[in-house]
Structure 1
Amino acid sequence: MNAMPLAPAPEPDVLRVADIAPEALTRLLARFDMMVEHVPDGAKIPGSFWGEPEAGVIASTVYVRPDTPVHSFLHEACHLIVLPPERRALVHTDATDSDIEEDATCALQIVLADALPGVGRERLMADMDAWGYSFRLGSTRAWFEQDAEDARAFLQARGLPHA
């Protein structure tokens, strides 16, 4: 019997940057002295750690395409937000070097989802689960509600939104 190649799995149905008003992304990042740069469909996304369509980061700029998932935009933006300005300025593609920064990034992206019209934390957590984020309690919601105290303390200590 000849083996048949498996078809690639379809990408989950998650909110994309094209679903959000561009000025909402700009306003959100401006609160943290950062910028969003929109690249055209099919173009390479500068600073993307995971590759297209995932968002990219270079210094204080988050790069996205219309097909970039909103959770990816928020995640990469939050990686930069949790960093002090002197570290942020040095970032190119890979923004973190610690577990607590990664946890704080995940918690902050959930909190900041409420600042984007049409997103909100409920939808963002569902999109994170659909995309394959992995938390030891089995879901983004369970982690955020029951196991993210250290991440919230990290954010609070830096004067960042945490609830």
Structure 2
Amino acid sequence: MHPEHPAPDPGSVLRLADIGEDAPRSLLARFGLMLAPVADGEPIPGSFWGDEEAGIIGTTVYARGDTPVHSLLHEAGHLIVLPAERRAGVHTDATDSVEEEDATCYLQIVLADALPGVGRDRLMADMDAWGYTFRLGSSRAWFERDAENARRFLLDRGLPVDLRG
């Protein structure tokens, strides 16, 4: 965190319950993924971080109403950047390289533009509030000035780098 930025409140991030399941379900389906809702208070299958963080198993993203939207999009992004033949074997941890992790962070920002009431600006603010760290101090600075490798990774695989317009 940069000293000139106040400490953000992770409790203020958008949650799945705030936006509903329909738009995320439709977005994930565009990439051959499924959204599996998890009942309140139940553990989230395939969650790497536990608590309210989204989980992944195969082509399914698991989330509860209290799951942050940024977490849902991040885990979905992990599956999207993987070749289809690798998705089936995924359980909880999908990353095997820094390049994939960077591409996933970039893609989650792009995917936010496809969700009504979310968008990249809100998602980047939520990422910063949650504690994602980037070399330039914020997700926006990274996305706009330091993410060419992630953008190239996505383009080389025919994945979207912008969903606006």
User: Structure 2 length as normaliser, TM-score?
Assistant: 0.92
Q: Within 1, Cα distance between the matches of 2:87 and 2:110? A: 21
Unaligned runs of 5+ in 2: 1-8
Matched, 1:75 2:102: no
What SS does the aligned partner of 2:140 have? Answer: helix
Contact 2:10 2:129 in 1 (8 A): no
Deviations 1:61-91 (A, max 9, x none): 0000000000000000000000001111100
User: Structure 1 length as normaliser, TM-score?
Assistant: 0.93
Structure 1 residues 137-148: aligned runs within 5 Å: 137-148=136-147
What residue number does 1:18 align with? Answer: 17
Structure with higher Rg: it is 1
Q: Which amino acid aligns with 2:58?
A: A
Structure 1 residues 8-157: aligned runs within 5 Å: 11-157=10-156
- Percent identity, aligned pairs only, is 72
What SS does the aligned partner of 1:115 have? Answer: coil
- How far the C-alpha of 1:21 sits from its partner, in A, is 2.4
Moved over 6 A (4+): none
- How far the C-alpha of 1:11 sits from its partner, in A, is 4.0
Contact 2:39 2:64 in 1 (8 A): yes
Q: Within 1, Cα distance between the matches of 2:10 and 2:111? A: 24
Q: Structure with the greater relative contact order (CA < 8 A, sep ≥ 6): 1 or 2?
A: 2
Q: How many residues align?
A: 154
Q: Within 1, Cα distance between the matches of 2:20 and 2:114? A: 12
RMSD of the alignment, in Å? 0.9
